[in-house]
């Protein structure tokens, strides 16, 4: 569709967000830099193997948040929560991926909007690169609601297209650390591997071997084999490339004289893309590093460069925090808390995470963590946490571990992932950071178990958990007959002609639809697609084009209204 990439649109319904009186000159630019599939393997977070000079410098100039947690151990559900500030289980976005059945796109409640769309409404220019993957979009640019971004690109994008005087928000993705970066360049193991090899040009997976496998730390849940060490070392090689890419972005900010006006946030979309990490609710799957660098003019009082903030941060907090930093009041429907800036709220006591269907494997798990303990509730006890996923088993490390388990060559800790799970798991993450000693049946921890269970139950009762519904039933409820609904075309009303100008009002019948418009002047010159945020005036003789979309629905047709 022509609408997909460069539209400037805002919610046509009530978003619940409001803009403060802060002037454009007082609003910061904001960059959110997101690496893929990466735990805290960064020098500034204490990893001695990592070669990350650019991120280490960013950390020395900013604040580190070592207790940041995603809402899922896999990308699409995690990114759905990130972009909306709402837990994915309340959006119908909990399964990896929603499109696995009937090509379904999640349909959030009508008031829920992606926070970049709210920033556009407040006058920000928004752009993103490489990856969407919000569950009401596909994975790639051009596949989601046209209302969220001014600019979406497959490769590099930057702030240069922002209108003069407009602040910008950019979400830049770094894909080199993705799980697929550990796929072997070899004869394909399956059709997915063949596709990935063709897409990468048979060799883009290899950044060069610079990390000594003998230098890496092998967690106790992995066997210490050459294959395991080689794949972990390769992960560090990919991290080195990602760090250089981040350095190039920061250098471009410096080159353009924007570092002094831009807040930079760097994090990752979930934990390591390795077995027993990605897709799991252990800390290896959901605990991620985060750095926030403040320009001096926007730095809150008492915040010092190079410091560490130990508070618990959830990925649902990013949307609310970024809106707050931009001078936009976060809407009440967001689950997130503002964790940084002048409007920072008190720290959280708990963070929460969930896991549901993973590609071809059904599962349902919920988790809660505080500063010391993690409680995991398995809704399919007696089944293994390990799932035999075709995508995972392209990695040599995954194949070898499964083979060693089948041959009885793994020890008790390494075998546990492949064995039936109990319903309840409790871990002391300070004493047991790898979460290998389950304390749920220990009488000495009965009070802690009860407290954590109560916290999880309270959280689950706050909003409907769509993971409780059979997936087909959930899809049918949003897409009757398993057919994607189409957004009704917006209506254009013209009135109050005075002094050669006429007032334009737009509305949409589809509940929750967002509306965008552009003006074509009398000479036929089309302006950019703009945010609709209430009535506006144009010169008589112009033509108005408008279209609408509700997240998860097909986009409406374009409607046209001449003003002559």
Give the closest residue to 353 by CA, choosing from 382, 384, 314: 314
Enter the tokens of residue 110: 């009508």
**Looking at 342, 375, 397, which one is the last position of a domain?**
342
Q: Are 172 and 31 in contact (CB under 8 A)?
A: yes
CA gyration radius, the chain: 24
Residue 432 CA: distances (Å) to CA of 7, 411, 438: 49, 18, 9
Tell whether 348 is covered by a domain: no
**CATH number, domain with residue 413:** 3.30.1120
CA proximity to 321, closest of 285, 294, 301:
294
Asked if the structure places residue 405 within a domain, the reply is: yes
User: Measuring CA to CA, which residue among 336, 344, 335, 282 is closest to residue 309?
Assistant: 344
* Structural domain includes residue 276: yes
**Claim to verify: residue 186 and residue 266 sit in the same structural domain:** yes
pLDDT range class, residue 206, cuts 50, 70, 90: low
Q: Which residue(s) pair with 461 in the sheet?
A: none
DSSP three-state, residue 70: coil
Quote the crossing angle between the two packed helices 226-255 and 396-406, to the nearest 10°: 150
The confidence band for 18, taking pLDDT boundaries of 50, 70 and 90, is low
Q: What is the mean pLDDT of residues 129-144?
A: 95
Domain match, 381 and 337 both: no
What tokens appear for 555 in the block?
A: 């986009």
293 and 391 part of one domain: no
Min mean pLDDT across 74-78, 217-221, 496-500 is at 496-500
Confidence of residue 4 (pLDDT cuts 50, 70, 90): very low
Q: Give the position of tokens 């007032």.
A: 503
Q: Does the residue 347 lie in any domain?
A: no
pLDDT the model gives residue 25: 52
Q: What is the pLDDT of residue 319?
A: 98
Phi, psi of 456 (to 5 degrees): -65, -45
CA distance 373 to 351: 11
Do residues 162 and 306 both lie within one domain?
yes
Residue 20 is predicted with a pLDDT of: 47
CA distances from 330 to 65, 80, 147, 318 (A): 21, 17, 18, 11
Contact 548, 488 (CB under 8 A): yes
13 counts as catalytic: no
How many other CB atoms are there within 10 angstroms of residue 258's CB atom? Answer: 16
- What are 523-554's pLDDT values in tens digits? 999 998 888 988 999 999 999 999 999 999 99
The secondary structure element, H or E, covering residue 198 is helix 191-200
Give the integer Cα–Cα distance in Å for 184 and 210: 17
Q: Let me know the angle formed at the C-alpha of 325 by 320 and 326, rounded to the nearest 5 degrees.
A: 100
Domains: count for the chain: 3
Average of per-residue pLDDT values in the chain: 93
Residue 10 is assigned to a structural domain of this protein: no
For residue 535, what is the domain's CATH number?
2.60.40.10
In this prediction, residue 14 carries a pLDDT of 38
Q: Any bridge partners for residue 95, and if so which?
A: none
Residues 55 and 190 in one domain: yes
- Which pLDDT value is given to residue 201? 63
Partners of 427 in the β-ladder: 374
| Per-residue pLDDT, 6 | 23
Task: Give the Cα separation of 108 and 92 in Å (integer).
Answer: 7
Where does a domain end: 482, 500, 526?
Answer: 482
Q: Enumerate the β-bridge partners of residue 545.
A: 518, 560
Q: Cα 349 to chain center, whole Å?
A: 22
| Residues 193 and 317 grouped into a single domain | yes
Of the pLDDT bands very low, low, confident and very high (cuts 50, 70, 90), residue 21 is very low
The DSSP secondary-structure symbol of 291 reads E
What pLDDT score does 341 carry?
Answer: 95
Residue 1 maps to a domain: no
CA distance from start to end of the chain: 28
In the prediction, which pLDDT does 185 show? 86
Residue 514: pLDDT over 60? yes
**Is residue 17 included in any domain, yes or no?**
no
Alpha-carbon separation of residue 321 from 81, 128, 169, 314, 328 (angstroms): 13, 18, 13, 11, 9
pTM of the predicted model, to two decimals? 0.94
- 297, 303, 305, 306 alpha-carbon torsion, rounded to 10°: -160
Span 474-496, pLDDT tens digits: 999 999 999 999 999 999 999 99
Say yes or no: 498 and 472 in one domain: no
The parent domain of residue 451 ranges over 365-482
Q: What is the pLDDT of residues 56-68, one digit of tens each?
A: 999 999 999 999 9
Q: In this predicted model, what pLDDT tens digit does every residue of 91-136 receive, in sequence order?
A: 999 999 999 999 999 999 999 999 999 999 999 999 999 999 999 9
Answer yes or no: is pLDDT of 78 > 90.
yes
Locate 177 and state its tokens.
């650390």
Instruction: Looking at the structure, tell me whether residues 139 and 221 fall in a common domain.
Output: yes
pLDDT tens-digit map of 25-53: 589 999 999 999 999 999 999 999 999 99
Q: Which of 544, 434, 528 is nearest to 490 (CA)?
A: 544
CATH code, domain carrying 165: 3.40.720.10
pLDDT at 362: 95
User: Of 75, 80, 250, 365, which is the active-site residue?
Assistant: 75
- Contact assessment for residue 264 and residue 250, using Cβ atoms and an 8 Å cutoff: yes
Structure tokens at 93: 């976005």
Kindly tell me if the per-residue pLDDT of 19 is higher than 60. Answer: no
Residue 472 main-chain phi, psi, to 5 deg: -60, -40
pLDDT of residue 188: 87
Cα separation of 544 and 538, whole Å?
9
Average pLDDT over residues 461-475: 97
CB-based contact 7:558 (threshold 8 Å): no
Q: Reply yes or no on whether the pLDDT at 202 is more than 60.
A: no
**Last-in-domain residue among 455, 482, 509:** 482
C-alpha 386/C-alpha 184 separation (Å) is: 21
**Token pair of 50, please?**
């990592």
- Strands 125-129, 491-498: parallel, antiparallel or unpaired by DSSP? unpaired
Q: What is the pLDDT of residues 207-259, one digit of tens each?
A: 678 999 999 999 999 999 999 999 999 999 999 999 999 999 999 999 999 99
Are 177 and 290 part of one and the same domain? yes
Average pLDDT of span 79-91: 98
235 close to 177: Cβ distance less than 8 angstroms: yes
CB atoms within 10 A of CB 372: 11
201 and 136 both lie in a single domain: yes
Select the more confidently predicted residue: 277 or 19: 277
pLDDT of residue 15: 44
The residue among 7, 1, 69 whose CA lies nearest residue 518 is 7
249 lies in the same domain as 117: yes
- Please give the helix or strand (H or E) that residue 264 lies within, else none: strand 262-268
Angle at which helix 226-255 crosses helix 53-61, to 10 degrees, equals 50
Contact between 494 and 536 under an 8 Å Cβ cutoff? The reply is no
Q: Please indicate, yes or no, if residue 12 is contained in any of the structural domains.
A: no
Q: Are residues 458 and 509 in the same domain?
A: no
Q: Which of 10-14, 56-60, 83-87, 211-215 has the lowest mean pLDDT?
A: 10-14
Which residues are CB-neighbours of 540 under 8 A, at least 6 positions away?
497, 500, 501, 502, 563, 564
Pair 129, 173: CB distance under 8 Å: yes
């Amino acid at each position: 569709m022509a609408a997909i990439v460069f539209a400037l649109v805002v919610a046509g319904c009530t978003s619940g967000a409001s803009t403060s009186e802060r002037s454009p000159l007082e609003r910061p630019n904001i960059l959110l830099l997101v690496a893929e599939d990466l735990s805290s393997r960064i020098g500034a977070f204490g990893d001695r193997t990592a070669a990350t000079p650019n991120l280490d410098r960013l950390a020395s100039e900013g604040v580190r948040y070592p207790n940041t947690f995603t809402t899922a151990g896999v990308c699409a559900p995690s990114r759905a929560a990130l972009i909306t500030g709402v837990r994915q289980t309340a959006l119908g976005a909990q399964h990896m991926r929603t499109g696995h059945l009937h090509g379904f796109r999640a349909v959030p409640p009508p008031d829920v909007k992606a926070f970049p769309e709210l920033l556009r409404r407040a006058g920000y220019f928004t752009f993103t690169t490489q990856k969407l993957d919000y569950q009401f979009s596909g994975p790639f640019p051009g596949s989601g609601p046209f209302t969220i971004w001014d600019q979406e690109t497959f490769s590099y994008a930057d702030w240069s297209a922002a209108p003069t005087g407009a602040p910008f928000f950019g979400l830049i993705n770094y894909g080199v650390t993705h799980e697929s970066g550990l796929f072997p360049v070899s004869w394909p193991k399956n059709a997915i591997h063949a596709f990935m090899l063709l897409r990468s040009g048979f060799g883009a997976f290899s950044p060069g071997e610079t990390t000594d496998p003998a230098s890496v730390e092998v967690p106790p849940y992995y066997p210490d084999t050459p294959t395991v060490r080689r794949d972990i070392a390769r992960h560090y090689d990919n991290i080195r490339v990602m760090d250089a890419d981040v350095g190039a972005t920061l250098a471009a900010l410096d080159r353009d004289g924007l570092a002094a006006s831009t807040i930079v946030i760097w994090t990752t979309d979930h934990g390591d893309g390795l077995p027993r990490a990605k897709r799991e609710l252990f800390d290896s799957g959901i605990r991620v590093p985060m750095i926030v660098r403040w320009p001096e003019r926007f730095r809150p009082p008492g915040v010092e460069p190079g410091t560490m903030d130990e508070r618990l941060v959830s990925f649902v907090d990013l949307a609310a925090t970024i809106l707050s930093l931009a001078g936009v009041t976060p809407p009440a429907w967001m689950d997130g808390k503002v964790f940084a800036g002048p409007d920072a709220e008190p720290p959280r006591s708990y963070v929460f995470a969930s896991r549901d269907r993973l590609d071809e494997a059904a599962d349902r798990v919920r988790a809660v963590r505080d500063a010391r303990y993690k409680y995991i509730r398995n809704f399919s006890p007696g089944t293994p946490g390990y799932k035999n996923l075709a995508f995972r088993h392209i990695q040599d490390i995954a194949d070898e571990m499964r083979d060693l388990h089948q041959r009885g060559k793994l020890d008790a800790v390494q075998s546990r992932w492949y064995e039936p799970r109990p319903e309840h798991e409790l871990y002391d993450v300070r004493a047991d950071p790898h979460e290998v000693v389950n304390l749920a049946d220990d009488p000495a921890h009965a009070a802690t178990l009860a407290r954590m269970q109560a916290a999880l139950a309270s959280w689950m009762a706050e909003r409907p958990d769509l993971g409780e519904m059979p997936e087909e039933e959930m899809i049918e409820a949003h897409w009757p007959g398993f057919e994607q609904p189409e957004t009704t075309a917006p209506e254009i009303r013209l009135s109050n002609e005075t002094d050669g100008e006429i007032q334009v009002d737009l509305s949409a019948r589809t509940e929750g639809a967002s509306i965008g418009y552009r003006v074509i002047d009398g000479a036929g010159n089309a302006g950019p697609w703009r945010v609709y945020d209430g009535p506006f005036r144009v010169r008589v003789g112009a033509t108005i084009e408008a279209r609408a979309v509700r997240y998860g629905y097909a986009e409406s047709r374009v409607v046209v209204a001449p003003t002559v």
